[in-house]
Amino acid sequence: MIYLDNASTTKMFNECADVHKTFSCNEYFNPSAMSAKSVEVSRHLAEAEKYILSRLGAKEGNIIFTGCATESNNLAIRGSLRTGDYEYVFSAGEHPSVENVAKRLQLEGYKVHFVPLDKEYGYVDLEKLKEVLSEKTRLISIMHVSNETGAINDLAAISKLKMQICPNAILHVDGVQGFMKIPINLRSTAIDLYSFSGHKIHGPKGIAGLYVKNKAALKPLFEGGGQQFGLRSGTENVSGIMQLKKAVELIDENKNLEKVKSLKLLFHTSFLKDALDAGLKINDFEGSPYITNLVFTGVKGETMLHALETEGVIVGLGSACSSKKAGNRVLENIGMRRECIISSVRISFNAYMSEDEVKTAAEIISKVYLDIKKRVS
């Protein structure tokens, strides 16, 4: 099997499983309890937090550990709401865990703006962003890397706009597809909140985090025993946090980035000429090398997905969280035609694949496309 759906989830590092055993069966103590064992566990958590902060390049702030990036995004947005004449700004290309919160806020009566995407490259249109920002802006929520197209938003430029127009606004970045993939240095940005997830970086499912620069400015989603500064009550997922730390330790994002860049280039140049002639198109947004899109003219993406699985190649159909619905709103927002959208699949790599796998996959994709194209036309 060649797995090319790493943007939906990744295979966990074996080392994480070892960490899981240690912190579930041996060091299983509740970090909030009073015993020396518990204090030891809570020290591990503090170290994990500190370590992840350092890898994000944060000078100050905390990590709030959550159950999933959806929770992190909800906490970031809902936790930043304030009563008063405020406005909330989102990009039109956000993941459903941001977009649907924004839509809900609209229904609840908040003033919400969606900033359109650049039609060619898929990142947020900075001119349009500038137009909607004002002193009333309370929150800006823009993703780091698009889960659909791989487009990378210019976080430095967005930070600059914020500091110029609305320095008091909170800047939230959904970093799920960027974390440990596209190097980031939070201290050189104006980012206040940054969401990330464990299972996208070869860690376990069920653990995610939110970087919080100023915890006093955030409100919790729910109340309880007051763990994690009262921002996320509930006993910490100790094993999950330690596994997340382990995954981060094992990743060298700069080295991986170079590797994946060359994998993507190899992939793009390995399609059979016949398939390209028949209508296989590479729809690359020149963003994250981890993600690329293919368009199979005349064949539904879903059909290709099933046919490829039969041949041992697993691909994705855009965000797994939204791929069950017809069409694709993000691709629509960047002006793709409907025929093109339903014919597209998302390919996403990881840094631990071999060149052989990528080359073989491109060849299989070419052959399967030629076969299906012949059968349906």
Partner 1 sequence: MKEKVLLLKFGELFLKGKNRHDFISLLKKNILKKLKGIGCHLSETQGRLVLSDYNLGQEDEIIEKLKQVFGLIGVADAVATDAQLSDIEAEVLNCDFSGVKTFKIESKRADKTFPMTSMELDKHLGEIVLEKYPNLKVDLYTPNMIIYVEVRTNGKAYIYNRLHVCAGGLPLGSAGKGLLLLSSGIDSPVAGYMIAKRGLELEAVHFHSYPYTSVQAKEKVIELAKEISAYCGKIRLHIVSFTEIQEQIHKNCDSEYMITIMRRIMMRIAQKLAEKNGLGAIITGESLGQVASQTMQSMNVTNAVVNIPVFRPVLAFDKEDIMALARKIGTYETSILPYEDCCTVFLPKNPVIRPTLKRAEFLEGNLNIDALVQQAVDTEEILEIDTY
The catalytic site residues sit at 321
Taking CB under 8 A as the criterion, the residue among 325, 338, 354, 356 binding partner 1 is 325
| Dihedral sign (CA 5, 9, 15, 17) | negative
> Does 233 interact with partner 1 (rule: CB under 8 A)?
no
Residue 47 or 302 with smaller CB distance to partner 1: 302
> Does 339 interact with partner 1 (rule: CB under 8 A)?
no
3-state secondary structure at position 279: coil
| Dihedral sign (CA 159, 163, 166, 172) | positive
Largest distance between two CA atoms of the chain: 71
Taking CB under 8 A as the criterion, the residue among 34, 109, 127, 324 binding partner 1 is 324
Task: Find the helix or strand (DSSP H, E) in which 91 lies.
Answer: strand 87-91
Query: Which of 53, 82, 81 minimizes the C-alpha distance to 65?
Result: 53
> Does 231 interact with partner 1 (rule: CB under 8 A)?
no
Count of CB atoms within 10 A of residue 277's CB? 9
Stretch that binds partner 1, among 3-11, 223-231, 304-312, 344-352 (CB under 8 A): 304-312
Task: Provide the minimum distance between the beta carbon of 344 and partner 1 in the complex, in angstroms, as a whole number.
Answer: 16
Stretch that binds partner 1, among 60-68, 176-184, 240-248, 303-311 (CB under 8 A): 303-311
> Does 326 interact with partner 1 (rule: CB under 8 A)?
yes
Count of CB atoms within 10 A of residue 162's CB? 23
Q: How many residues bind partner 1 (CB under 8 A)?
A: 15
Residue 295 or 305 with smaller CB distance to partner 1: 305
> Does 338 interact with partner 1 (rule: CB under 8 A)?
no
Number of helices and strands in the chain (H, E): 13, 12
> Does 216 interact with partner 1 (rule: CB under 8 A)?
no
Task: Provide the minimum distance between the beta carbon of 375 and partner 1 in the complex, in angstroms, as a whole number.
Answer: 5
Task: Find the helix or strand (DSSP H, E) in which 336 lies.
Answer: none
DSSP secondary structure code for residue 25 in this structure: I
The count of residues in the chain is 377
Burial class (CB in 10 A: 0-12, 13-18, 19+), 360: middle
> Does 307 interact with partner 1 (rule: CB under 8 A)?
yes
Question: If you search the block for the tokens 């960490």, which residue do you land on?
Answer: 19
> Does 329 interact with partner 1 (rule: CB under 8 A)?
no
Residue 11 or 306 with smaller CB distance to partner 1: 306
Report the distance separating Cα 219 and Cα 283, nearest Å.
41
> Does 1 interact with partner 1 (rule: CB under 8 A)?
no
> Does 375 interact with partner 1 (rule: CB under 8 A)?
yes
> Does 42 interact with partner 1 (rule: CB under 8 A)?
no
> Does 303 interact with partner 1 (rule: CB under 8 A)?
yes
Task: Provide the minimum distance between the beta carbon of 114 and partner 1 in the complex, in angstroms, as a whole number.
Answer: 25
Report the distance separating Cα 257 and Cα 266, nearest Å.
14
Task: Provide the minimum distance between the beta carbon of 326 and partner 1 in the complex, in angstroms, as a whole number.
Answer: 7
CA dist 354 → 70, 263, 279 (Å): 31, 8, 27
Site residues, partner 1 (CB under 8 A)? 300, 302-307, 309-310, 324-326, 372, 375-376
